[in-house]
């Protein structure tokens, strides 16, 4: 299924606000005691990144992003946080994949009857660190 072959049903406006308690590997800790984290968000086939923040395990990005949604029941938000490395591959500091409907503050049916209000969610990654995102889902009207 190519996204181009499906109809866009909504727009996701997302702000990656911050991450908390990032867990660098022991090798990183021995060398630097800190990380230069950035966040990568993938929705459908689009991947966007925040800038990296130097030397912190609690970065504050406040980075806006925009994605097109094709199926509110099935679209997945993939969140990855990496340590930006200069002379070696970037190290993954945490990740999660979550269905969009699982981070809505209400059921999808209820959500569809209300105007789209911004909501903020704290999402826990695979290793107990977390990322805070602010979202607005704008439903697009279809013209027939």
In this predicted model, what pLDDT tens digit does every residue of 58-74 receive, in sequence order?
A: 999 999 999 999 999 99
In this predicted model, what pLDDT tens digit does every residue of 26-70 receive, in sequence order?
A: 665 566 667 999 999 999 999 999 999 999 999 999 999 999 999
| CA 100 to mean position of chain CA atoms | 10
CATH number at residue 90: 2.60.40.150
What single-letter DSSP state applies at residue 75? -
What total number of domains does the chain contain?
Answer: 1
Q: Is the residue at 70 inside a domain? A: yes
Q: Which of 44-53, 89-98, 103-112 has the lowest mean pLDDT?
A: 103-112
Q: Is the residue at 144 inside a domain? A: no
Structural domain including 110 reads 3-138
Q: Is the residue at 124 inside a domain? A: yes
Which pTM does this prediction carry?
Answer: 0.89
Check: CB of residue 8 under 8 Å from CB of residue 68: yes
pLDDT band at 1 (very low <50, low <70, confident <90, very high): very low
């Amino acid at each position: 299924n190519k996204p181009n072959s499906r109809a866009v049903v909504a727009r996701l406006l997302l702000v990656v606000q911050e991450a908390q308690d990032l867990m660098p590997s022991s090798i990183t800790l021995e060398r630097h005691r800190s990380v230069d984290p950035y966040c990568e968000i993938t929705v459908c086939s689009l991947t966007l990144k925040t800038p990296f923040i130097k030397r912190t395990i609690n970065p504050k990005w406040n980075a806006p992003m925009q994605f097109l949604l094709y199926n509110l029941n099935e679209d997945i938000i993939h969140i990855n946080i990496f340590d930006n490395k200069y002379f070696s591959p970037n190290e993954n500091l945490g990740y999660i994949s979550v269905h969009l409907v699982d981070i809505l503050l209400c059921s999808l049916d209820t959500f569809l009857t209300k105007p789209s209000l911004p909501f903020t969610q704290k999402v826990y990654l695979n290793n107990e660190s977390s990322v805070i995102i602010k979202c607005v889902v704008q439903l697009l009207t279809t013209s027939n």
